[in-house]
Amino acid sequence: MRGCGIGPLDQLAANLGEMIVTPDRRETKIERRDLMLVLVLFALSLVAYLRTMQRTFGWSDSSELTTAAYYLGIGHSPGYPTWMLIAYPFAHLPIGEVAFRLNLMNALLGALAVALVYLTYYLIATHRAAAFVGALAFAFSATFWDVTTEADVFTLHVVLAAAILVVALWWRRAGARRDGRADRRLYLLSWLVGVSLGNHALIALMIPALVYLIWAEQGLGFFLHRRTVACLGLFLLGLSVYALLPIRGMSNPPPHLSNPHSLADLWAQLTAPGARQSMFEASPLIALHRAGTNLWRLTSEFGYAGCALALVGLGVLWRRDRRLAVFLLLIGAVDVAYACNFSIFDIYSYYLPLHLVWAALIAVGAAVALELAAKATARIPGTNAALTPARGRGLAAALLLALPFTLFTGHLAIVDGSDRFDAELFAQAVMRQVEPGALILADWYTVAPLGYLKYVEGVRSDVTLSAAPSNPTEAQFNAAVTPDLIARYPAAYFVEKLTYRARSLRARGFYLVPEGPVSRLLADRPPPETLLARIPSRPQARFGSQIGLVRADTRASPPGDARLVTHDTLGPGEALGFTVYWTPLPGYDRRRYEAIFMLENQASGRVWQEIVLLGHDLYPFEGWRQGQVLREQHYIYLSEPSPPGEYDLLVRLRPHGESGCLTCDQAVPGRQGRDYRLARVTVRAAGR
């Protein structure tokens, strides 16, 4: 490049190169240029998070916490008082719906977390460009980006964890110089840990690493100093945020799932007896498998290039600053040891501390790459002003930025929640369908969006919601759900997505009748005559010599039932009711049969299926006689968007417990002689 002028690319490389400082933690300072980079990171990540955040409420914790925050209430154990105090003002902003406001808060917290992560990585890697790359890599890692898309406590957890790391590293720098400011930073650190525990108990996993750092820097004598008492007092002051629980519990705010009314209730709220059953219940082999799986998952979170940089960074940090390396490894190791022994469906979020450490190592590895680029440039014979070591670093920094860019493009479609309305569509469909004054039994995952509609939006205040299916044990569930309970309500419904209580209900003699997004729960069979229709028993189709299909009706039945869609078109979140009429043929053998209903076409395949016992097992088939017509109500419910177009509503029959299906004399051509077309249904394009 001898004799070449300085072009735009060279100037960009020079500017990036000038932002690099020497790798000496004692010389690391936060300057105006760092604040500029913090603002750039905040803006970049905020734009991405606003673009991908959900526009409405979601499933499980998101809806439950949103509802609780609106009333300054209490979340599920342990209650999350720090999050509630921050979320309550956002919940009452005069923009959009309540769920939108808290999703917006979460996006802002996500951007703030990235800004703090940059400061953390700069104090670790001591290179601005390297810290910038590491912070962006963390910003666009799949799990962290995903938790920013809807209201939840994990984004604030990362904000507080990053703040703790910043203060701890600042304390370490001041302590190494025996600076008088060190004590004040340590006191701030102690208070932050207490406040952070008020958001999520996961922060406790950082305490062993923090204790190690203090011991490594100050020795064992530090813990015998009066400063330890002051630190403990400030920690308890931060932890006092939990006083919100008994104070607000006396007011019993919605969603009425976790409000403590006694000391015993408060202790149960703080100690999470239900969650404890999922802790350390896995065998060592399963725990090791989970640990290995989630360590390997780092390759999908940060890419192979990112993991290679992290491994280089770990090796270099171990050689240059072993205390800091051990500190970071302790955070990651304790997190993995705990998370791989906790059996819950959303455990992936519990690995965020590991990801925070891994991205820090990526920043260190990036700093190594920058230094190597500078040294390589300096050794090029004949180097002049057009190619200085600073510009070499800058060109390397530009190449390193490809890592967060590929993470952004690779994870965008996976985490994008901007068109995710399934929880809202489900909740609205349920509230449209259930009868007045009904009881809805739903597990934690599904009861939360129903609670949001009821308590925040004021929809169907007449219904009663119960999270009994999420009781820790089957015995507790059985004690809570009894025939006497069902009898107290005009109608009872059941729905679950993460539990297996339906099997328990059927084993105890209850009946579950699918009705679109929910199932009607019956303690007893209805009178047989109420299930029969007074229509001629001339079958349109015969399934073997056993069962005849008399008629199928995709209109509302009985007429005027407002809970059914009265046309043969439907979209996501809608339930299309149809009625099927069966009659026994002369060869009927009194066995139980099950019907398989399907909605499909050749282009899109099957978008809905339901397998039920004939008559929903409500009719005593040993007394079913020729000439009698059994009426059977069904609902097609599309929980997610499906390709629009014309679909066939098909049915096939088979003996219960067998795989072979009966032959149909009017089968659809090409359907192996078993499927009968009941109707044609138009599926509309997705829309809110």
The letter for the amino acid at 394 is G
Reduced to 3 states, what is the DSSP secondary structure of residue 410?
helix
Q: Are residues 129 and 62 in the same domain?
A: yes
Sheet with 547-553, edge to edge strand ranges: 532-533, 629-637, 575-584, 547-553, 541-543
As a whole number of angstroms, the distance between CA 446 and CA 435 comes to 18
Residue in 300, 323, 100, 374 with CA at minimum distance from that of residue 216: 323
Separation of alpha carbons 565 and 637, rounded Å: 11
CA 162 – CA 148 distance, rounded (Å): 15
Q: Is residue 168 part of a domain?
A: yes
Statement to judge: residues 411 and 495 lie in one domain:
no
Q: How many structural domains are present in the chain?
A: 3
Q: Answer whether 426's CB lies under 8 Å from 449's CB.
A: yes
**Given its phi and psi angles, is residue 580 left (phi above 0), alpha (psi -120 to 50 degrees) or beta?**
beta
Nearest residue to 124 via CA among 186, 172, 70, 59: 172
Confirm whether 18 is domain-assigned: no
CA distance 36 to 16: 13
Same domain, 392 and 302: yes
- Specify if 275 maps to a domain: no
Classify residue 273: in a domain, yes or no: no
Query: In this structure, are 319 and 464 located in the same domain?
Result: no
- Look up residue 487 and give its amino acid: A
The reply to whether 174 and 249 lie within a common domain is: yes
DSSP state of 376: H
Is 542 contained in some domain? yes
Is 494 found in the same domain as 438?
A: yes
d(CA 446, CA 459): 16
By CB atoms closer than 10 A (0-12, 13-18, 19+), residue 613 is middle
Q: How far is Cα 253 from Cα 251, in angstroms, rounded to an integer?
A: 6
- Return the structure tokens found at 573: 């979140």
Q: Are 494 and 556 in the same domain?
A: no
User: By CB neighbour count within 10 A (0-12 exposed, 13-18 middle, 19+ buried), where does 655 fall?
Assistant: middle
Q: Which among 467, 498, 522 is the end of a domain?
A: 522
| Calpha distance 354→334 (Å, rounded) | 9
Q: Point out the residues of the chain with pLDDT beneath 50.
A: 1-6, 8-27, 176, 556-566, 688
| In contact, 86 and 65? CB cutoff 8 Å | no
Q: Are residues 561 and 496 in the same domain?
A: no
Q: Are 220 and 352 found together in one domain?
A: yes
Is residue 182 left, alpha or beta, with left meaning phi > 0 and alpha meaning psi from -120 to 50?
Answer: alpha
**547-559 per-position pLDDT tens digit:** 999 999 876 334 3
pLDDT of residue 225: 77
d(CA 363, CA 122): 8
Between the CA of residue 194 and those of 152, 236, 237, 263, what are the distances in Å? 19, 6, 7, 21
Tell me, yes or no, whether 551 lies in a domain. yes
We report the CATH number of the domain holding residue 658 as 2.60.40.2550
Nearest to 671 by CA among 687, 656, 651: 651
Q: Output the CA–CA distances (angstroms, integers) from residue 67 to 70, 269, 275, 282, in the order listed.
A: 5, 18, 21, 33
Task: Find where tokens 């008629």 sit.
Answer: 551
Decide if 657 contacts 558 (C-beta within 8 A).
no
Same domain, 363 and 453: no
pLDDT value of residue 15 = 44
Cβ atoms within 10 Å of 2's Cβ, excluding its own? 9
Q: pTM here?
A: 0.88
Given the structure tokens 């990585």, which residue do they identify?
A: 121
Query: Do residues 374 and 496 both lie within one domain?
Result: no
Q: Name the β-bridge partners of 653.
A: 595
The Cα–Cα gap between 231 and 533 comes to: 77
- Please say which residue of 522, 550, 574 terminates a domain: 522
Q: Give the domain extent around 499.
A: 422-522
Among candidate residues 45, 38, 47, the one with its CA nearest the CA of residue 140 = 45
Residues 550 and 464 in one domain: no
DSSP H stretches of helix in 71-127 = 81-91, 98-125
527 assigned to some structural domain: no
Peptide bond into 527 cis (omega under 30): no
Residue 19: inside a domain, yes or no?
A: no
Q: What SS3 state is found at 421?
A: coil
* CA of residue 160 relative to chain centroid, distance: 20
CB-based burial label for 215 (10 Å; 0-12, 13-18, 19+): middle
